[in-house]
Every structure is written in structure tokens, then in C-alpha cells.
Amino acid sequence: MDNVLDNFRFLTIEAENQVKLTYGLLTSFNVRVLEKINAKDDYIDNLKTTIENNCFSTIHASGGALAQKELNDIRALHVMALNLERIADFCVNIGRQTRYLSDLSILADYDFGSMFSEIQKAVNQISGVFTAKDLNGALAICRSEFRLDFLYKYNFDHIMARLKSGKQATDLVTAIFISGTWNASAIPS
């Protein structure tokens, strides 16, 4: 189980770094940052797969002898690893969206900073909350989704109002896609 926890901590750090890099990319586009985000994707995918394999191997090797608490911990680590990898994938997708912008400065007109701050804060708390088995902390992390929904709606409304002018339509639609990346209801499943 120690191996799973170590890899989980690495995955958490890598996901948080992807969020930081992606926000940096949106505030001052740099091709090298975009390349760095893309380069980390395979490593993060491999960490998630390693955690997943270790979780399943631990369950299988126990022959059903795991206590319910241990089984719950393994399931929780697996679900969190899947979601951290998904967050990292969102970062890659946002990076790809920047290629469609003719004017990156348009992003400064919308509040992406609050969105990224919310995500980074939540990801940063995951390992400590899991280790401490802090239910209130876990619920606080979950509530970040509601705050992200609110921030998305705020950006969406402002972008839609600006779209009515007919100017910079391609960049504004791209800004909606970037903002909507973090909003589960804006992303088709």
C-alpha cells in the first residue's frame, strides 16, 4: 500500500503542476510551456495506470482478507487517481485550445484566475485530507465544483454578451471552450 500512496502523492503533485502551468500559459502564452504540459501527459497517465494496477493487485492478492476500511481506502485512491488524471487531461485540452486563438489577450477579459485558483487549492488539499481521513476537508474539496460552476456561468454570460457584437467570434467561442473545460455540465460525456 505504501507504493500506491507514494505514486498517489506524485500524481497529486503532477496534476497541481499541470494546473499551474496551464494558467501560466493562459496569462502569457509560451510555446515551451505548452510543450511542457503536453510532455507531462504520458507520465501522468502512467502514474494513474500504476496506481490503478497496484490497487487492483492489492485487492486481488488479499484473497478477500482486506478489512472494509482498507478496501475503502483503496477504492478512494483509485477514484481520486482517475480524477487527478482527468484534471491533467483538461490542462492538455486547454493548451490545445490556445492554438485556435488569434488574440490571446482576449482571455484577460475573463476571470480564469479564480477558476485556476479554485482548482489548485482543491488539488493541493487532496493528499492531506486523505491521509487525515478528514470528511469535512473532503466535502470542502467537493464543493469546489459548485464554485467552478458559478465561475463558468459568470464567464459564459459575459462572453455571450460580447459575442453579440459579432467581433472576435472565433476567439470568444474558444474562450467558452477553455472556461467550460472545468464545468462538468458544459462538457459532453
- Least confident stretch, 47-56, 88-97, 102-111: 102-111
The pTM score is 0.89
Q: What pLDDT, on the 0 to 100 scale, is given for residue 36?
A: 96
Q: 11-44 as b/e, with b when 16 or more CB fall inside 10 Å?
A: bbebbbbbbebbbebbeebeeebbebbeebbeeb
Residue 59 — very low, low, confident or very high, per pLDDT cuts 50/70/90?
very high
Name the average pLDDT for the chain.
91
pLDDT, average across residues 112-116: 93
Alpha helices in 28-134 (DSSP H): 31-62, 68-97, 112-132
* Segment 113-134 mean pLDDT: 94
Q: What percent of the chain has pLDDT over 90?
A: 83
pLDDT reported for residue 92:
96
Instruction: Check whether 1 has a pLDDT greater than 90.
Output: no
Residues 64 and 28: their CA atoms lie apart, in Å, by: 52
Domains by residue range for the chain, with CATH: 2-186 (1.20.58.220)
Residue 67, Cβ neighbours under 10 Å: how many?
9
Supply the pLDDT for residue 29: 85
- Residues 6 or more apart whose CB falls under 8 angstroms from that of 123 comprise 12, 15, 16, 19, 84, 87
Determine the 3-state secondary structure of 29 from DSSP. Answer: coil
Q: What is the mean pLDDT of residues 32-44?
A: 95
**DSSP secondary-structure letter at 106?**
G
Task: Please give the pLDDT value at position 184.
Answer: 55
- Determine the Cα–Cα distance for residues 168 and 137; give it in Å rounded to an integer: 42
